[in-house]
A and B are shown apart, each in its own frame.
Chain A
Amino acid sequence: MKRIKLLVLAMFAFLLGNAQDAVPEMSDALRQNGKIYVVVTVIAIIFTGIISYLISLERKISKLEK
C-alpha cells in the first residue's frame, strides 16, 4: 500500500515538475498582434530599392558597353 502511495506521489511529482518547465520565450505575441508584418514590409521595400538600383546599374553598364 505504502509503495503504491509513493508511486502515485512520484507520478504526481513528475507531472508537477513537467508543468513547471518554462517554455523558451519566443516572440509569438508580436506576430499575433500583427506588427511583425510592418517590419517585413519595410525590409521588402528596402530590398526592392536595392534590386532596382542594381538593375539600373546593369542598364547603365550595358549602355556603356555599346
Chain B
Amino acid sequence: MWIRKYWWKLLGAGFLMYALTYGLLCPVPALDITNETIRNLFYHVPMWFTMYALFTYSVYHSIQYLRRAVDDHDIQARTSAEIGFLFGVMGIATGSIWAKYTWGTYWEPKDPKLNGAAIALLIYLAYFVLRSAVEDETKRARLAAVYNIFAFPMQLAVTYIMPKFMLSLHPSSADTVSFKQYDLDSKLRLVFYPAVAGWVILGFWIFTLVYRYQLLKIKSENEEN
C-alpha cells in the first residue's frame, strides 16, 4: 500500500531540500517592490497547492463514504481536511507577511483573494465544528460527508475562481498581471515545480502518519471495550 511505502516520502524530502536551499540561491528577476521577496513564490504558493491537494483527497473520500458507508472513508476525509486546513493557515500567515512588505499592509480589507482565502478556511472550520457537534457516529459521518461535498466547490470558488473576475492586488486576478510575468522566467519554474511537488508530498506524508495514529487509537479503544 502506498501509505507504508518509503520511496515517495524520500523523493518529496529531496524535492524540498532542493527547493529550500536552491530557492534562496537561484537567480531571480530583479523587479521593483518585490525584490528578493519573489522567492516567496517557492514557499507561500506551495502551501495553497498542498491545501487544494488534501481537500481534493478529502472530498473524494467523502463521496466514497456516501457510496458505501465504510468508516475508513470518514476517517480519511476528516484527517486530510485537517492537514489541508493546517496548510491553508500557513498560506494565509505567509501571504500576510509578504503583503506587509510589498503592499504595505498585513491585510487588505476589501481584497477578494484575501477574503476568499479567509472564507474558505472558515468553511472548513465549520466542517470541524459540525463534526464535533454530532454525537452519533454514523449520523456524523454522513452529515460531514454531505457538508464536505458542498464545502469543496465553495472553497474553490472563493479562493480561485471568484478572484479571477474581480479586482485584487493579488496576482492572477482580473486587473493584476498573473504570475506568468514571472513564470516566463524559466529559472523560477525550475525551483517552483519541485517545491510544489515536495510540499504536496510532505502534506500527504503527515496525513498518513496522523491517519495511522487515528486507526491505532480506534483499535485500542475497541480493545478496551
Contacts and interface: CB of A to CB of B under 8 A. Distances in A.
Interface stretch (B29-37, B159-167, B186-194): B29-37
Contacts of A57: 209
A47 B17 contact: yes
Contacts, number: 45
A31 interface: yes
B16 interface: yes
Interface string B1-15: 000100001000100
Contact of B25 (A40, A54, A65): A40
Contacts of B36: 26-27
By DSSP majority rule, is chain A's interface helix, strand, loop, or mixed? helix
A64 interface: yes
A19 B31 CA distance: 17
Interface residues of A, number: 22
A54 B209 contact: yes
Contacts of B30: 23-24, 26
A39 B31 contact: no
A61 B213 contact: yes
Given A26-B35, A26-B36, A65-B212, A36 B21 contact: no
Contacts of B32: 24
Contacts of A26: 28, 30, 35-36
Given A37-B25, A43-B21, 12 more contacts: A23-B30, A25-B35, A26-B35, A36-B24, A43-B20, A44-B20, A47-B17, A54-B206, A58-B209, A62-B4, A64-B216, A65-B212
